[in-house]
Structure 1
């Protein structure tokens, strides 16, 4: 090589290096200006801020187009691209003007302080400075060529870091693409740098075939990046985010595998220039051998594919396969994972699922019917029994009102009449809990209404139909009630023989505010909670009552709707006096109702006066004489008497 040729080569490479440095400097300058305008500048009106937010991302192409256009105008080898780059930059400017009216984006621009990492400055910058200063480390042309390659790598790395690390992308699609494409894009950067180095570095004797193969590999890598971007958009964004539906892992892996196999065959055929026919024939022989060895695995694979096409179940469904029942947690190419109700994690091969019947309790509907069977004594009328069952089932919140529960008399067995209760639920996982609530409610309701669940034996000896009541204990409870003291010992004994104890389960409602009632209760054991709500449904009064307290006297005597909701805090046994129990005593002694009404009137007046004093915060209402109090008592007593007479209708 003559000195003149060497000198021309040095001048050419020096010029190329200076152009690359200028383009890089222009790029960094534009990035800094972009940061100052869209990040550092906080002033301006709301419209200016909105326009600035809109143009922040749309102006990014100019950061690359302008340095490339300037470099194309300075290099003869790229001059033919200068016009196209200029037109493209002008087109972007037109878009920026048109989009300046948009005010929808509000993302904040964030530029990391670690713009120049150690990777960029330690080795590349050191070698680059030595090359620029013409230190006698490398021969002149080689030094400038190496510097140009390093500048290219620095530029590509900055672009990669800017797009994949520094910009705080918030859109789900951007995050998905950055996660999926990051390694492939960086591999492409290394490949482009390597290709450019082989092309420009004079110390390497690389043949055209090698360069063509590397170029083909880069093209296939670009196709791979585009394919991966498309697959990530479909599988990781469109369906799970936009459509809110999960794509099975099996299907995603199958599609990606086919894409990778196609690209591999293209690499072998077009880059390595190998005959694909022989490769395919050899692959067929290997495939047959592997197929025999992996019959079970392939069976699971194709069974899983068939299951995904027919979609008998989906993630989160409750299914039953044989004796296994649980929630589907994962579906892949070989197996389906299920969480059972006992907390076990079961792995079911897809080939087994393809052969077994599958019960899906979640699709196409979560509606599920439950059956409970119970047998009761022959002496209980079926209509009465089914009415009690209907009331119990209606109180269980998890039981659906529609479809309505069904009650059937199944058969007349040896010792009982057998009934079936059918109701519908949507919480299949909680089916046993709901069944328990229904059964517990039935037991307490049967106990309160003296409904007997007989033993499955023949009764040969006459047994007493009912147990003797402890009249003395009931009398003791009745004597503690002020308005019942007027009945006298004889009438209290009559009432005690008719009254009965009833058992209520913890959490069960004894009476509900606003509903009609005709029973009076005295707490024998346990504890109840009393709640009074206003018209808006907010609790304005809440307290608990223990053993010896009573409630429900106004409903017993006048039939007024319940003024409060009473619920059992724990299992509670209540002495119950009904309207029918008291009717005989009142009919036989009409004078008793006057005494009772007078006692209730006195108590009600005391309650009203106490409430008035508490609200107005004074001892007694001014201007009220004894005569007025007497008249008020008489009027209230007369009102209560009329209500009692009307309620008992005699």
Structure 2
């Protein structure tokens, strides 16, 4: 999650100046008080006031120098995630210098013996805390080299997760399972660190799949590439690709390679792609074979619908009522029943189309692209149909259709209609009239019209549709 500081880094950049400004006001007030009361203020109070002024001024200088060295460069260079450790070290060094100065300036202490003693103590401490100091300097190196930073996806010592913090001694990682792991900083210097976020967030997702020898490789590769185009999290550039890995005993092995810009979503993307593969392969009659362990008779679980069964569904489609029973039977022969998985796209707004869909079961969301975003306008359920204008006129899709859960759809394409329309030309006028009246009913929700106006508009629209249907099917 992006913090407020990352969203607005410059907003907090100037906050130290508020403290500095207040300290300078207090210092100035003390100095003015001492100056105005110089003739009657006791020397002890004057000395105390001078001491307070020096301390406040020293703190102001430390805050300003820290801002100048740490806050400003890190903010402008946008290395926002590595500042805490370095800021702590620099702050401690500045405060140490300020304390030494104040001891000498205010208390009049000779700091030379103190520094000598400190050097001896420092040597003893360094010898006794070698590992801790090694981790400390490794932490500084990690920050300086931008090896890892907060929010990065990494793998360290066979542990994968996101960086939560880089502290004095350890680097804290949160795994996908939500566990928190503390890795000593020296392990980052001595071992192998895989960073999946820096210097680039793009990462390839690989999905291996086997397809039957009966399925032409080009067809399989086209189906797989179409899946990546419809998967929202997959990047359009670099383009996805499909490799043929080889020929196994019972299948051809393919590898689908797609790109994402967030390593953390890879399991979700793989799930979406694998789910879509099952539905897409089923619709395109591509078998996913399995190893044959013994010879036995297989009974397919996939239900095959007869023309008579499909015919009953087609009869429920309102705009096809002008067709005779024999014509509907002919249409049912070329109709197919497809299964779509939740989130799969049937078609997109602007796509060319020549098919109509009847919802046998499930729901379909209808979306339109408007004001630079996609919004849902309706949800269709069992018994509804859509796409009839593309079926009969070949016009581009006016909306996007997305499966809202698993659904079964009866799909009619224009090939099943041409022979019927040639044999029964009078049906064309009836279809055009029915479609025109359906359009007027839908238009009524947008515009209030009288019955006479609707009839007149329907007749005009019917004539236009008649011409378009005739042109699309190349009827005389």
* TM-score higher than 0.5: yes
For residues 519 and 306 of structure 1, the distance between their equivalents in structure 2, rounded to whole angstroms, comes to 62
Does 2:422 match 1:590?
Answer: yes
Which residue in 2 is equivalent to 1:517? 353
Give 2:236's aligned residue.
Answer: 401
Cα distance in 1 for partners of 2:328, 2:75 equals: 73
In the alignment, structure 1 residue 620 sits paired with structure 2 residue 452: yes
Cα distance in 2 for residues equivalent to 1:630 and 1:560: 19
CA–CA distance in 2 between the matches of 1:300 and 1:641?
A: 77
Give the corresponding residue for 1:335: 170
Q: Which has the higher helix share?
A: 1
Structure 1 stretch 289-298 or stretch 471-480: which is displaced more? 289-298
How many residue pairs get matched? 449
**C-alpha distance 59-433 of structure 1, shift in aligned 2 (>3 A):** closer
Look up the match of 2:113: 276
Partner of 2:470: 642
Task: Quote the residue 2:14 is aligned against.
Answer: none
The structure number with the bigger radius of gyration is 1
- Which residue of 1 is the match for residue 380 of structure 2? 545
Distance 1:222 1:463 in 2: 88
Post-superposition CA distance 1:125-152 (Å, at most 9, x none): xxxxxxxxxxxxxxxxxxx87x664588
CA distance in 2, matches of 1:558, 1:464: 41
Separation in 2 of the partners of 1:541 and 1:332? Answer: 47
Q: Distance in 2 between matches of 1:456 and 1:326?
A: 36
Q: CA RMSD in A?
A: 4.1
Deviation at 1:630?
11
| Alpha-carbon offset, residue 401 of structure 1 | 0.9
Task: Check the 8 A contact 1:486/1:595 in 2, yes or no.
Answer: no
Whole-Å Cα distance in 1 between the matches of residues 372 and 111 of structure 2?
A: 81
Distance 1:641 1:362 in 2: 54
Quote the Cα distance in structure 2 between the aligned partners of 1:426 and 1:540.
24
Shift of 1:581: 3.9
2:290 aligned residue: 455
- Alignment CA distance shift 1:325-1:544 (3 Å): same
Q: Is the 8 A contact 1:528 1:546 kept in 2?
A: yes
- 2:434 aligns with 603
The structural deviation recorded for 1:501 is: 1.1
1:229 Cα offset (Å): 3.0
Distance 1:232 1:302, change over 3 A: closer
Contact 2:66 2:94 in 1 (8 A): no
3-state SS in 2 of match to 1:423 = strand
d(CA) in 2 for partners of 1:256, 1:248: 11
Q: Larger deviation: 262-271 or 612-621?
A: 262-271
- Which structure is higher in strand share? 2
Whether the aligned pair in 1 keeps the contact of 2:319 and 2:435 (CA below 8 Å) is: no
CA distance in 2, matches of 1:539, 1:341: 31
- C-alpha distance in structure 1 between counterparts of 2:130 and 2:140, whole Å: 15
State the TM-score, normalized to the length of structure 1: 0.60
Provide the C-alpha distance between the structure 2 equivalents of 1:538 and 1:429, rounded to a whole number of angstroms. 25
Contact 1:530 1:542 in 2 (8 A): yes
Q: Verify: 1:299 aligned to 2:130, yes or no.
A: no
Deviations, residues 367-420 of structure 1 (Å, cap 9, x unaligned): 111111111111111111111111110111211111111111111111111111
- Shift in Å, 1:346: 1.8
1:547 is paired with a residue of what secondary structure? Answer: coil
Which range is displaced more, 458-467 or 360-369? Answer: 458-467
Q: Which residue of 2 aligns with 1:325?
A: 160
Between the aligned partners of 2:344 and 2:426, the Cα distance in structure 1 is 34
- Kindly indicate whether the alpha-carbon contact (under 8 Å) linking 1:601 and 1:640 is maintained by their aligned counterparts in 2: no
User: How far apart are the structure 2 equivalents of 1:633 and 1:227?
Assistant: 81
- What is the deviation of 1:356? 1.5
DSSP-derived class of the 1:621 partner: helix
On the 8 A contact 1:475/1:492 being kept in 2, the answer is yes
Match of 1:529 in 2: 365
Distance across 1 between alignment mates of 2:401 and 2:261: 29
Indicate if the aligned counterparts of 2:436 and 2:458 stay in contact, CA closer than 8 A.
Answer: no
Give the aligned partner of residue 341 of structure 2. 505
Please report how far the alpha carbon of residue 314 of structure 1 lies from its aligned counterpart in structure 2 after TM superposition.
2.0
The farther-off stretch of 380-389 and 298-307 is 298-307
Q: 1:609 to 1:501 in 2, by over 3 A?
A: closer
- Aligned counterparts of 2:91 and 2:225: Cα–Cα separation in 1: 57
Contact 1:329 1:337 in 2 (8 A): yes
2:6 aligned residue:
none
Residue 392 of structure 2 is aligned to residue 557 of structure 1: yes
Match of residue 350 from structure 1 = 185
- Specify the alignment match of 1:79 in structure 2: none
1:71-90: CA deviation from partner (whole Å, max 9, x where unpaired): 66xx5xxxxxxxxxxxxxxx
For residues 291 and 65 of structure 1, do their structure 2 counterparts lie closer, same or farther at Cα, with a shift above 3 Å needed? closer
Note if contact 1:300-1:350 (Cα within 8 Å) is conserved in structure 2. Answer: yes
Q: What is the alpha-carbon distance in structure 1 between the residues aligned to residue 243 and residue 260 of structure 2?
A: 18
Q: Secondary structure at the match of 1:620?
A: helix
- Per-residue CA deviation, residues 180-224 of structure 1 (Å, 9 max, x unaligned), is xxxxx9xx42xx8xxxxxxxxxxxxxxxxxxxxxxxxx7xx5885
Q: Return the offset for 1:570.
A: 2.2
Question: Secondary structure of 1:411's match?
Answer: strand
Q: 2:66–2:90: 8 Å Cα contact kept in structure 1?
A: no
Deviations 1:413-435 (A, max 9, x none): 11111111111111222221122
* Residue of structure 1 in register with 2:20 after alignment: none
Match for residue 409 of structure 2 among 557, 574, 578? 574
Q: Is the 8 A contact 2:70 2:87 kept in 1?
A: no
Distance 1:629 1:70 in 2: 94
In the alignment, the residues of structure 2 paired with residue 264 and residue 631 of structure 1 have an alpha-carbon distance, to the nearest angstrom, of 94
